[in-house]
Amino acid sequence: MSEQTNSHAPQPLIVQFEVVPEDEQQEDIADTSEVRQSLIDELRNHSYTVKSVYTFSGHAHPVNDDIYFVTVDFDIEKAIFNPSGYISMR
């Protein structure tokens, strides 16, 4: 007769959600943010660990020794003098 170990260690389950507006041209940032936060709060209330992962599809621009995401309000001159005012790889 062979001995079998019965492992009941919980296995991680990874579920990815992407919250986007129905019409990206008419995005209501407040509504999108509220839905996103509501989803995170609900998962945390049920003891799930929530780890936010951000994605970016667009252009990037090197400034000094960093790379900045080029958002609609990106201004290279302002990024040089106020690096924390924009989103970078660091």
**C-alpha span between 54 and 70 (Å, rounded):** 15
- Is pLDDT at 33 greater than 60 in this prediction? yes
Q: What is the pLDDT of residue 6?
A: 59
E strand spans, the chain: 59-63, 66-70
The DSSP-derived string for 3-16 is ------PPPP----
Q: How confident is the model at residue 12 (pLDDT cuts 50, 70, 90)?
A: confident
Mean pLDDT of the chain: 79
Higher pLDDT, 60 or 31: 60
Q: What is the pLDDT of residue 52?
A: 74
**pLDDT, tens digit, for every residue of 45-79?**
998 888 877 777 788 989 888 999 888 888 989 98
